[in-house]
Amino acid sequence: MDKMIIHLICPDQMGIISKLTSILHKSMCNILSIQQHVDKEKEKFYIRLSVKANSDKTLPKEKLLELSSSLNGKMNLFNPEKKLNAAILGTKETSPIYDLLIKNKSHELNCNFPIIISNHSNLSTLSNQFDIDFHKINDNNDLASVLNENKIDLIILARYMQIIPDDIVELYKNKIINIHHGFLPAFKGARPYHQAYERGVKIVGATAHYVTSELDEGPIIFQDTIQINHKHSIKDIIQLGRDIEKNVLSKAVRAHLDNKIIVHNQKTIIFD
């Protein structure tokens, strides 16, 4: 690995960037990009750096981790050249899955899709079309073994209408992305478009978020909305929502794959 993405969260203090760049400079590393954010309310500092080692120099991982410890921070190091294995879990809806697979084929999503998992057989046709393995599960009891066998790094819930077991949620913490067809935190749970219709709201939306043990409560990654009015039927709202859902989901997946998301507690920092 001659490239590396660095994420750091620490209490805001003087000299953080200077100390980071000094280590990289002494190790003959070239900084390709640097982005930072300060949460003044929480006094937290967030930074993302993309770096490359020059010639035969190695990346200074140990020194960076030592710095993180001295700053009372948390650091994660990523290899941007490594393609993650992502499993797509769906039920019957094909639109968000098809969109992900097309964007993967066009190299918009830098990952491998080795398997589609579903509790119905409907999606097997889609897996055949893209030459991807398909696994039908009757319940979630064998889900962990299927994920393990396929060396899955990221789970994408593309309208998967089943609850993921807590042990898998814990194992894949901040590595399960769900698309909720509602503008969270409003209209959690089932049938959010119907809930929105009954309340007569003027906007509907979709939310991509990381999955936690609490239903629809995970850190939000991306959201989008569209305006509606009293003329729209539930069928109209669902159709409008489908386009938003697939766009929001693919943006969230791409940001995760590109290591542009820093998660702290219930909040995400997403760099451009």
Confidence grade of residue 165 (pLDDT, cut at 50, 70, 90): very high
Point out the residues that are catalytic: 216
Distance CA 147, CA 162 (A): 16
pTM of the complete model: 0.91
List phi, psi (to 5°) of 172: -110, 45
Neighbours of 48 (CB within 10 A): 23
- pLDDT digits 0-9 by tens, 179-222: 987 777 666 667 777 777 778 888 888 899 999 988 778 999 99
List phi, psi (to 5°) of 97: -70, -45
What's the CATH number for 84-270? Answer: 3.40.50.170
What are the start and end residues of each CATH 3.40.50.170 domain in the chain?
A: 84-270
User: At 97, which helix (H) or strand (E)?
Assistant: helix 95-105
Query: Could you tell me how far CA 17 lies from the centroid of its own chain?
Result: 27
What are the start and end residues of each CATH 3.30.70.260 domain in the chain?
A: 3-78
CATH for the 3-78 domain, from 3.30.70.260, 3.40.640.10, 3.90.226.10, 3.20.20.80: 3.30.70.260
